Amino acid sequence: MVIARDKRKHTIKIDYSEVAFKAFLESIKKLSPHTLVKNPVMFLIWMCSFIGIVLSIKPNIFGPTELSQIDNLVITLILILTIFFSNMAENIAKEMGKAQTDSLRIVHGDVEVKKINDDGSIEYVFSSKLEKGDMIKVQEGDLIPLDGEIVEGIATVDESAITGESSVVLKEPGTDTSTSVTGGTRVVSDWLLIKITAEQGNTYIDQMVNIAESIERKKTPNEISLNALLIASTISFLLVVTVIPVILHYLHIKYEYIYIIALLSCLAPTTIGGLVKPITISGFDKINAFNVLALTEDAIEKAGDINVLFLDKTGTITIGSRMAIEFIPTGHNSIQTVAKSAFLASFYDHTPEGKSILNLAKRYVEDVEIKKIIGKPIEFSAHTRVSGIDLENGDILRKGASDAIKKIVQSKNGKIWENTDQLVDNIALQGGTPLLVSKNNEVIGIIHLKDIIKPIIKDKFKELNLMGIKTVMCTGDNNLTAKVIAKETGVNEFIAQAKPEEKINLIREYQSKGMIVAMSGDGTNDAPALAQADVALAMNTGTVAAKEASNMIDLDSDPTKIIEIVKICRQLLMTKGALTTFSITNDISKYFAILPSIFPISGLEVLNIMRLESSHSAIISTLIFNAILIPCATPIAISGVNYSANDPNKQLTVNLLRFGIGGLIIPFLAIKIIDLIVGRFI
């Protein structure tokens, strides 16, 4: 097995030696031409090695030669080794991704769970028998078998098998990002009642496994462009090398055919040609390992070029449910009186706002007992926007929207204190929502509701601005409330009372200017804008419509994670750019090594500035360097070049200079060292 499970700690250890062994076997299988034809650079090397095999069997097939079969065979084997190293780099990246998903399969295995039946009884069934909508109970030490939503209970959950983070996460109902759980995670303490939300075979883990194991993936526009560059350069080198023998033959200059093949192999951009796929695969795996389900590789590469980020306010920038944060008494009333009246008036309000009022009121009032609440309930409705209770002792308590409560009180010729409107306006100016509390037709106080901004969101937006990404907040709130929240969070722009078509039009406007637009949202009304955006990140706690319109889904429902996504994707693009630059610039030093050896023309010896031992040694040394460069650069391709949240253009320039200069200097040193070793055996 590639992985081993530690039953005591419930962790997974990857056996890297077996990863390498599997990659080794797969790399040998992929030496066939029908596989390599998809990689134009490596297919060219394969054709060169095929001609080398012919020359190894019959050295004089194209004419007289001074080289032996062994000489030709050594060069041919090095060419085959170049192809093998390219396959190895790709397969190591693939096997690493598969090992991670195999670990998820082990954690996600069929286990016995406690299913809650409709009559409340507990039935023990295997997780493979669970269906969407089933209720299960998990306790300390239990594995959560499938994705679900928490209905009841509070517990800490170990998500390290999914996220890689060692710290446990507190999970409870009605807390936005913490209300959902993922199959494959484990309960560390207490218990949870969970409603299954995923079908068998369609969980987050299943999708990750399917993506990681997909053998063929559609090429991204960036990869297509890079392949076009590689094909164009390869064809140009092929034409040049094809013409060279004709010219030499016309000049009556003797040459070795195997050396011409070696020249073509060294000029071809083999380094980046062999590392394009490992870079892309590793970037894809990094996104998934970061707990984001990337549905297309196109989205990953576009995320690296994001210029503008649209974010829905409710549920994305803010928690999504307005929470009671303050009771404000009016007139001669006390805060305890307002709190107790608000509690009783909200007892039959089952909305998240109503529950938050109950929780806040308990801080001020301890003598309210549910069994003592006797009276006629007035349940909250969206039509009346009021809830309350007519107590048995004759008290009439109401709570609701300010205009609705005022209308009720005024219709009964009740009392509204003079400062009430001013207090209501002050709350609105702060971006909050005011609710009035009345007792016996007197407005006795105000409840301040606020859509709580998610922690550290302001710092994250600063980081986005530092990365050159413009942020735009979309909200259905009025302009005043939107302005307050925009100022508090630090977003660059905001759209108040935004309708779906307005979001789409603004996204299209930015796209028409050549900008790459990302959209992060969780609601059904966000779906059209998510579908229009180049990069669409939906929250896992969001609606089905939002998820279906997106090309990325964040399991943790953390909109600030777009920052890490951009970092990973920009690192991927910079890694490709850096290694492409290195691959092209190291050809220059190869010219100095191989040209004087191939062409015995007077005056070319001046190019032999490395003072290589002999023509044959120079050829062998250059080919060896060309081959081993791929495995040497593979760790960089998989891990990526260094990246930080600074000016991307500046970082790109630094990386290009670093790898460009490195591509000029390193080959001179490496080829000379290899030549000193090879020269002793030739």
Average pLDDT over every residue of 47-58: 91
pLDDT > 70 fraction of the chain, expressed in percent and rounded: 82
Residue 219 confidence (pLDDT)? 52
Q: Which of 498, 644, 671 is nearest to 571 (CA)?
A: 644
Strands (E), 460-567: 470-474, 493-495, 516-521, 535-539, 552-554
- β 443-453/318-329 pair status: antiparallel
Give the C-alpha separation, 594 to 213, whole Å: 42
3-state DSSP call for residue 308? strand
Q: Which of 5-14, 173-182, 445-454 has the lowest mean pLDDT?
A: 5-14
Q: What is the pLDDT of residue 207?
A: 56
Give the residue with greater pLDDT, 456 vs 27: 27
Let me know if 305 is a catalytic residue.
no
Tens-digit pLDDT profile for residues 314-323: 666 776 667 8
CA 205 – CA 146 distance, rounded (Å): 9
Q: State residue 101's pLDDT score.
A: 57
Nearest of 627, 582, 676, 650 to residue 87 by alpha carbon: 627
Q: Are strands 112-116 and 386-391 parallel, antiparallel or unpaired?
A: unpaired
Q: What is the pTM of this model?
A: 0.64
pLDDT in tens, 472-494: 888 766 677 778 888 888 888 88
Of 147, 176, 312, 349, catalytic: 312
pLDDT given at position 617: 86
Q: How confident is the model at residue 379 (pLDDT cuts 50, 70, 90)?
A: confident
Above 90 in pLDDT, residue 597? Answer: no
The residues, any chain, with a CB within 8 Å of residue 638's CB and separated by 6 or more, are 92, 93, 96, 278, 279, 282
Percentage of the chain modeled with pLDDT above 90? 13
Q: What domains lie within the chain, and their CATH numbers?
A: 3-102+211-289+567-678 (no CATH), 112-202 (2.70.150.10), 319-452 (3.40.1110.10)
Contact call for residues 144 and 187 (beta carbons, < 8 A): yes
Task: Report which of residues 322 and 122 the model is more confident about.
Answer: 122
Q: How far apart are CA 462 and CA 466, in angstroms?
A: 6
pLDDT of residue 11: 42
- Alpha-carbon distance of 182 to 162, in angstroms, equals 8
Determine the pLDDT at residue 329: 94
Closest CA to 139 of 190, 202, 63: 190
CA distance 2 to 19: 6
Question: When comparing pLDDT for 337 and 457, which is higher?
Answer: 337
Distances (CA, A) of 471 to 310, 524, 626: 6, 21, 45
Q: What's the whole-number average pLDDT of the chain?
A: 79
Long-range contacts, 534-542 (Cβ 8 Å, 24+): 534/299, 534/302, 534/306, 535/299, 535/302, 535/303, 535/306, 536/299, 537/292, 537/561, 537/562, 537/565, 539/177, 539/315, 539/316, 540/180, 540/204, 541/176, 541/177, 541/179, 541/180, 541/315, 542/315
- Is the predicted pLDDT of residue 425 greater than 80, yes or no? yes
| Nearest CA among 546, 469, 489, 559 for reference residue 520 | 559
> What confidence score (pLDDT) does residue 327 get?
94
Using pLDDT thresholds of 50, 70 and 90, give the confidence band for residue 640: confident
The pLDDT of residue 514 is above 50:
yes
Residue 329 sits at φ, ψ, to 5 deg, of -75, 150
Average pLDDT for 349-358: 82
pLDDT the model gives residue 645:
61
For residue 19, what pLDDT is reported? 77
pLDDT interval class at 337 (50, 70, 90): very high
Query: For residue 668, with 0-12 CB atoms within 10 Å meaning exposed, 13-18 middle and 19 or more buried, which class applies?
Result: middle
Rounded to the nearest angstrom, the gap between the alpha carbon of residue 620 and the centroid of all alpha carbons in its chain is: 43
Using the predicted structure, report yes or no on whether residue 85 has a pLDDT greater than 90: yes
Structure-token match 């192809």, residue found? 83
pLDDT at 8 (0 to 100): 35
Does position 210 have pLDDT exceeding 60, yes or no? no
Choose between 53 and 553: higher pLDDT: 53
Q: Is the pLDDT of residue 140 over 50?
A: yes
So what's the pLDDT on residue 629?
A: 92
